[in-house]
Structures are given as C-alpha cells and as structure tokens.
Amino acid sequence: MRNQPQTIRKTLCTALVLTLLAGCGTAGRVYDPPTELPGATENPRLSEVVVGQDTVLLQQALMDLVQDADRSGADLAGTPPNEFISIYYEDLESGDILSLYPASYYPCSMVKLVCLAAVYDAIADSEIQEEEVSDMLDAMIEISDNTSYNVLAQLAGSDRIQHILEAAGTRNTVVNHGLLPGDAYFGGDPDLPDNTATAEDMGKILRYIHNWPDEEIRGKMIERLTRCEDDKALVQGLPAEVTVAHKTGWADGLYHDGAIVMEPDGGTYILVVMTENAPMEELSLIAETVTGFRGRKMTGEEPAA
C-alpha cells in the first residue's frame, strides 16, 4: 500500500504521454552550430551593473582563464576550432554581476529550467496537479529526459513559458520547440525561430527560481535541481561542502551548465557557463576559480599577484 501513490502517478504519467505525445511529433531538426559567435578572447564585457573591486579581480581571473583555454584541437592547417565560452556570475547577496563573452547558443536541455518554472507556475494556479506530474518532473531534471520535458512543456503551454521568460527579465532567449524524439514546434508553427539562450538569461532564470515568492514551491524546485545526475562540469570544480542546484545541457559540440551554489556560511551565488567546442574541463576550472575567489573574499585574504 505504501507504494500506491507512486504507482498512480506512473499510470497517470503514462496516460499523459500517450495523450500528448501526438502534439510533440518530430520535425527532424538538426542543430546547425552558429558561425558568427563573438570570439572568447576578443569580446569581453562586464555587465553594466556596478561591482565591487574584489569582483573586478574575479573578472580578470576569469578572462585570463578563458584566454588561456586549451585550443589544442587545431586542424592540420593550424587553424584553431571555433571555441566559445560565455560566463555569467551573480552574487545574490551583494548583487555583483559579471557577464563575460556574451553570445547566443542553442541551449540544449537547459531549456528545462524554464519548463520547470512554468510547470510550477501552473501548479500554483491549480491548473496542473503536482502529484500527476511529479515523476515526469523528476525524470526531466534528474536524468534530463526529453519526453518528460516535451509533455510538461505542452501541459504548461507556450504562453506560460513566455510569461516565465518575461518575468525573469530575459532578453535573448526563446523556447519554441520540444527536444528529440519530439522536437516539433509548440503550436505547430514551423516559422518560429529555434530555441536559443545566453548564459546571462539562464542566470536570470535561476535567480527567478531562487527568488520564487512561495517558499514551498521554491524549495521543491531547488531540491529537484540538486538531484541533477550530470555532475561532470561545474560540480567537479566546486567544494564538497556546498549545495549545488543545477541543470546541464549538451549536444553537437555544445556543453552548458548553470547552477545556484549555496555555501555553508549562507552565501549564495549563480554561475552559468555555456560553451561550444570547449573542453569540459574548462567548466570545472571556471568553477574552481570562482571557489578560490569566494574563499579569499570570505577570509579577507589578498589575491595572488
């Protein structure tokens, strides 16, 4: 009897998938990597938000790291591959923000952050019953299941997804279609642009989740994000004592990771890294750099020359 609610949820999830999957057909989409992203060593930009001097030091450290990134994947002609690394960092206590090397990327499964917020927005409005979609939410975040995302996005609806994007303050992100095996456009309009996002906008979505006004819903979303099983990137560069609520996305030479990092002393920050053709180790090194910066900041230690 103790497992009955879970069995009911799984039965309901199966019914929802069979009912809604017809609206999530395949469009046979193949991602065409952009060719005009700004080069990582050429277009650094600090957000317009005024930051403290210590955060300026972090900016320089991250810029140095990106500029020194391993570009050993040159072809036989000696031309390095197009390699792009965009970084968004926000200290949720001080408000300091860094947005470095901004560029638009295909977001892969990071769009599931937007879907997560949209579904809980519908739950708050009693338009979706949480117990009926709990298993799909788990699958979408923990193992990045695309079918669960496709069904949940259809349930939440494109209008609510757009509402989340606007409420979070995103400027360069669109979420218009599902993910394989059901990557059709929402509403069936093939003229809509493909999904796209920036590191800064994904950071804003994470901030929106972190600042969700209903404490219970906020806690549920963050707890689910702590169970993301893909820990090959940012998590590898973060200390074991922090709590990491994050979501990754990858495909076709792209690898992205965005996290709310909660420190044991109560400090909280957001770190998002989006990359194309960059070694995954770069994400870990970026996380290590931020960790070292925050450790010195907490202790008052002067940064190394």
Rounded to whole angstroms, the Cα distance separating 73 from 78 reads 9
Residue 258 and residue 37 in contact, taking contact as beta carbons nearer than 8 Å = no
The reported pLDDT for the residue numbered 1 is 37
The reported pLDDT for the residue numbered 51 is 59
The reported pLDDT for the residue numbered 218 is 98
pLDDT digits (tens, 9 = 90+) for 117-157: 999 999 999 999 999 999 999 999 999 999 999 999 999 99
CA dihedral (162, 168, 169, 174) positive or negative = negative
The reported pLDDT for the residue numbered 32 is 44
Strand 243-251 vs strand 97-100: parallel, antiparallel, or unpaired? unpaired
Rounded to whole angstroms, the Cα distance separating 58 from 60 reads 5
Helices (H), the chain: 4-20, 53-67, 111-124, 130-142, 146-156, 158-167, 199-210, 215-225, 281-299
The dihedral region occupied by 3, where left means phi > 0, alpha psi between -120 and 50, and beta the remainder, is alpha
The reported pLDDT for the residue numbered 270 is 98
DSSP for 31-44 reads ----S-PPPTTT--
Peptide bond into 303 cis (omega under 30): no
The reported pLDDT for the residue numbered 298 is 53
pLDDT digits (tens, 9 = 90+) for 179-193: 987 767 776 677 788
The reported pLDDT for the residue numbered 261 is 98
Rounded to whole angstroms, the Cα distance separating 178 from 164 reads 17
Residue 158 and residue 187 in contact, taking contact as beta carbons nearer than 8 Å = yes
Stretches where the chain sits below pLDDT 50 are: 1-50, 73-80, 303-305
The reported pLDDT for the residue numbered 110 is 97
DSSP for 180-206 reads TT--PBGGG-TTSPPPBB-HHHHHHHH
Rounded to whole angstroms, the Cα distance separating 248 from 201 reads 15
CB atoms < 10 A from the CB of 31, how many? 14
- DSSP letter assigned to residue 113: H
The reported pLDDT for the residue numbered 301 is 54
Q: What percentage of the chain has pLDDT greater than the value 70?
A: 74
Cα 75 to Cα 37, 79, 80, 83, 298: the distances in Å are 19, 6, 6, 13, 44
CB atoms < 10 A from the CB of 63, how many? 18
**pTM of the complete model:** 0.82
100's enclosing H/E stretch is: strand 97-100
